[in-house]
Amino acid sequence: MSQREAGDSDEGGDLAGLSLVLGLGATGYSCARYLHGLGVEFAVLDSRAAPPLLASYLQEFPDAQVELGEFKVEQLCRASRLIVSPGIAVSTPAIAAAAAAGVEILGDIALFARAAQAPIVAVTGSNGKSTVVALLAAILRKNGSAFGLGGNLDGENFKPALELLIAEREGARRSDLFVLELSSFQLETTRELNATAVALLNLSEDHMDRYADSTAYLSAKQAIFNGAQCAVVNVDDPLTRPPQPMASSLAYKPSGECSDGLGIGGAGNRSLCWQGEPFLDLEACGLRGSHNRSNLMAAAGLAIALGVPLTAIAAGATSFRGLPHRSQWVCEAHGVEFYNDSKGTNVGASLAAIVGIGERVVAAKSSARLVVIAGGEGKGANFSPLAPALAQFARYVVLIGRDADRIEADTAQARGSCEAIFAADMAAAVSAAVDAAQAGDAVLLSPACASFDMFDNFQHRGDEFIACVSAAVAQSEN
């Protein structure tokens, strides 16, 4: 590959020797672009015969060294380091063998942390990451901050973290701050993030097809605390605390008052308070549901840790209207509301949506209930934690996808209060939900599963739900 002379950038000083980028998805592509700009020696490997970005990569780098097919130990051991994409497990036998032989294992966020010249703020957790990061971005915009936004994001906000550094190298305005959403997969290849402020929002069973147990999953998430200056912690949830004492922490308490941090208070407990003093009317915020109260407080806590004034936090929170596919209000027809929570890709996310929206629906009309559409690729999850919430808030659960039978079995204790209906596809599921819902009810798509058994991604699934709802509503009005 034609490259700049090694040593042209101080960033590449600790990247001597061959680097092998494993995976040519969006993150791997960004790693290759970053290394190419540094002028260091690297090659790209992908276990797939035809990676989706291969043609684009070869068009940009026609002399690129790319090797396809199953990873081989001898192939990996010739490198000084492996830069592993988040979608590839470091427990893959060839990668584990290379690590045992002394080959360094890292990921794109480790590269980013080594090179970033501005403070880093980072968010992880099983659920709510994208909402918290997007809300923090809205707050920072109101504050006039110059920041870069990247990491494990989706939709219009998606940008691999290294693309932020590449853009600066190519002449873009330098950021005063970097805001990153990070997955456990990214953190498990990051020894020290050295962030200014971090938050681990929550932990619920997810990715059990990749981790041995929930303890291993938590351990991967907790890498976000390594080298951090301040942790923003939910005092109602012990799992959000760092495993070791830190120099600084900032507390928030979604369940009530918190005299030394963020809490709920004021007249009717309708205000967000800092150290007991109200500064934001919760009813003025665009985010709804109890789960979003926690998200709001986490974003506010990170902003306070950065020194952002409370006035800017309040302005950003009231301007933010949430993200698509996350408890997104779709429409109301014949007294029934429809919500799209396609981003509910695990049990914890769907539990939060069922409770959060269920509480609103029941508060408005005591006899009202939810009709929940769930199902898909379950990733080895146990769905039984959904049963009490379904029994309390749902009239029916409409099940689709590969693990529909498993969800039905795991939530059997909810039968009687919440009956199960099986549907072949999204159109049939929406039709069944419309038939089952009564005036005052809400139909909620919150699958508790990944989408890949039936859809391209969770966005595709959510768009299909919205389209099917629109068609069903139009048909009912003819």
Query: Is 142 among the catalytic positions?
Result: no
CA 391 to CA 412: how far, in whole Å? 10
Is residue 129 annotated as part of the catalytic site, yes or no?
yes
User: Rounded distance, CA 174 to CA 151, Å?
Assistant: 17
On whether the CB atoms of residues 84 and 105 are closer than 8 A, the answer is: yes
Q: Which amino acid is at 79?
A: A
214 Cβ partners below 8 Å, 6+ apart? Answer: 203, 205, 208
Two tokens at 11? 């960033």
Q: Which residues contact 82 (CB under 8 A, 6 or more apart)?
A: 19, 20, 22, 76, 95, 98, 99, 103, 104, 105, 106
Determine the Cα angle at 416 with ends 414 and 419, to 5°: 75
Interatomic CA distance for residues 370 and 356, integer angstroms? 11
> 311-348 b/e with 16+ CB inside 10 Å = b?
ebbbbbbbebebbbbbbbebeebeebbbbbbbbbbbbb
Phi, psi for residue 178 in degrees, rounded to 5: -115, 130
CA distance readout (Å), 430 to 126, 259, 271: 27, 46, 37
Which position among 36, 207, 291, 343 bears the catalytic label?
207
Residue with tokens 């009717």: 268
Q: Please, what is the Cα angle at 326 between 322 and 329, to 5 degrees?
A: 75
The residue type at 270:
R
Q: Does the active-site annotation cover 152?
A: yes
Catalytic member of 127, 142, 143, 152: 152
Amino acid in position 387: A
* Contact criterion met (CB below 8 Å) for 40 and 101: no
Query: Which residues are known to be catalytic?
Result: 129, 152, 207
